[in-house]
Structure formats: C-alpha cells, structure tokens
C-alpha cells in the first residue's frame, strides 16, 4: 500500500512540527515547508521527512512546491495549511502593517494553499485539505482584531470549500484550537513591535484556560483523529464546544466576560 504524502506549512515549529511528527509516526511521507529553511531542515532531519523553503504569502512559490511534491512522491494526499502568525492589541495600537501581514500569512497563505492543491487533488480524485483556524474563528475575540478576522475567514472558506470539493472526492477540515502552548504566544506581532498584548497575552490565556494550556503534541493527535473521521470542524480541547455554545445561546454573558478582559487590558496599558 502506497504511503500517503503530506505537506505541512509552518512545519518547523509549534503545531506544524507536532503535526509533522504525528504524521511520520503513522508512516506518512512528510514534506515540511517553512519560511525558515534552516529550521525546516532541522525538523526534517529529526523526523525523517523532507524540507522545503516556502513563504506561504508567495502564490507562485506555493504552487511550485505542491507540483514538486507530486513530482517527487507521486501524489499530494494531505495538505496542512498551518503557517500562521499572531497579532494582538487594541485597534488603535495596530497599524496597516499589522493588518497587511496578518491577512497575508493567515488568510492569503491558506488561499494560496487551496489554489495549489485543488487542481492536483481534483485530478487524483482524492485528498484532504486541513486548514488551521482557531477558536478565534468561531467566537468573538477582541484585542486580536486582525487575527480573529483571518480565522473567521478561514473557517468560512473551509466550510464552503468542503461542500464544493465533496463531489470530486476531496475532503476539507478546519482546525479550531483554543490557546496552545507554542512559540506563537511568545511571538505576537513578529517584526512589528511590542504593545501591551505582546507582554500579557500568555497571562490572559492562562486566566481564560485555568486548566492549563495543552501542548501541540496533544493537538496534533486530536487533529489526525479528526482528519481520519473526516470532521468538518476539529475543536480542541473538546470542552471548547461549550464556549461556542455559550456564545450562541448566552451572548450577553459572553459579552460581559469579554468586556471584563477588554477593561483589564486597557487598565494594564494605561500609563502610571
């Protein structure tokens, strides 16, 4: 039986590396794509995969990588559109560069992956596109406006694409994790400067998830289980479905809790 071939973007660290490791353990051929080529090579060497440099904001480069994967391995069975960045702060703390960078990586990067994979998978008559969104794509998340905007878009894209691709045998899932203990939490607004969000988001995350932040390895196992079951939405931890339900059925309560976080944030950033 032929080994399935998986391409993982943002695969050199965090959730992407854990996904790559979990796929390798299952016997898949794994291609680790990352904007940091050296880190991708290190991850590939430790996991027994292949490394490729890829900036997901480059549509042409993404298409070329997808075609090369097929040329090298004969198919593209799984695409994990996982590369992403975190952008935090109140709207008046964020400039055009925050919006542009977040939209380019978190949304356009996914679009480019879809555009690269769909023709290949349609011709194969099989394949699974897995887009990493967030709980921020299922509920309202202030103080991270560009981030939550892109993640809502990724969820919508994934659900609509799933309907479009089902008749040709291609599956689509969106992954919606809560806060996960990854470098993203320590590297908000990468290259874009600090604000109160970059210094306090981990504290806020811990307060919102008092049971502690799960690690990316736990998430990766849940994702691959969901993929095997062809889940449209993979929410992790599963208890977060309660948060989704609360926002739908008790929006006033959720708004009050969110309001408390916003007021606390504004108080923290106020000069002494």
Active site residue 147: yes
Among 147, 179, 236, 265, the active-site one is: 147
SS (H, E, C) the chain: CCCCEEEEECCCCHHHHHHHHHHHHCCCEEEEEECCHHHHHHHHHHHCCEEEECCCCCHHHHHHHHHHHHHHHCCCCEEEECCCCCCCECHHHCCHHHHHHHHHHHHHHHHHHHHHHHHHHHHHCCEEEEEECCHHHCCCCCCEHHHHHHHHHHHHHHHHHHHHHHHHCEEEEEEEECCCCCHHHHCCCCCCCCCHHHHHHHHHHHHHCCCCCCCHHHHHHHHHHHHHCCCCEEEECHHHHHHHHHHHHCHHHHHHHHHHHHHHHHHHHCCC
Nearest to 73 by CA among 17, 172, 5: 5
Sign, CA dihedral 68-74-79-80, equals negative
Which residues, in sequence order, are bridge partners of residue 81?
A: 131
Point out the residues that are catalytic: 147
């Amino acid at each position: 039986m032929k080994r399935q071939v998986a391409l993982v973007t943002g695969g050199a660290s965090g959730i992407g590396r854990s996904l790559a490791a979990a796929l390798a353990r299952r016997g898949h051929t794994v291609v680790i794509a990352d904007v940091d080529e050296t880190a991708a090579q290190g991850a590939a060497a430790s996991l027994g995969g292949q490394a490729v440099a890829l900036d997901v904001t480059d549509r042409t480069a993404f298409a070329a990588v997808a075609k090369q994967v097929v040329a090298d391995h004969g198919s593209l069975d799984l695409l994990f559109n996982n590369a992403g960045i975190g952008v935090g702060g109140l709207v008046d703390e964020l400039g055009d560069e925050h919006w542009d960078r977040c939209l380019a990586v978190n949304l356009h990067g996914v679009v480019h992956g879809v555009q690269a994979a769909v023709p290949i998978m349609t011709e194969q008559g099989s394949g699974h596109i897995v887009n990493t969104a967030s709980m921020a794509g299922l509920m309202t998340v202030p103080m991270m406006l560009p981030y939550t905007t892109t993640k809502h878009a990724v969820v919508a894209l994934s659900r609509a694409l799933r309907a479009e691709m089902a008749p040709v045998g291609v599956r689509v899932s969106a992954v919606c994790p809560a806060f996960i203990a990854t470098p993203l939490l320590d590297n908000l607004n990468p290259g874009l400067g600090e604000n109160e969000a970059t210094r306090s988001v981990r504290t806020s995350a811990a307060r919102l998830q008092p049971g502690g932040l799960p690690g990316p390895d736990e998430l990766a196992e849940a994702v691959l289980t969901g993929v095997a079951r062809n889940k449209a939405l993979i929410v992790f931890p599963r208890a977060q479905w309660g948060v989704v339900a609360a926002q739908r059925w008790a929006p006033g309560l959720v708004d009050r809790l969110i309001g408390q976080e916003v007021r606390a944030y504004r108080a923290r950033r106020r000069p002494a």
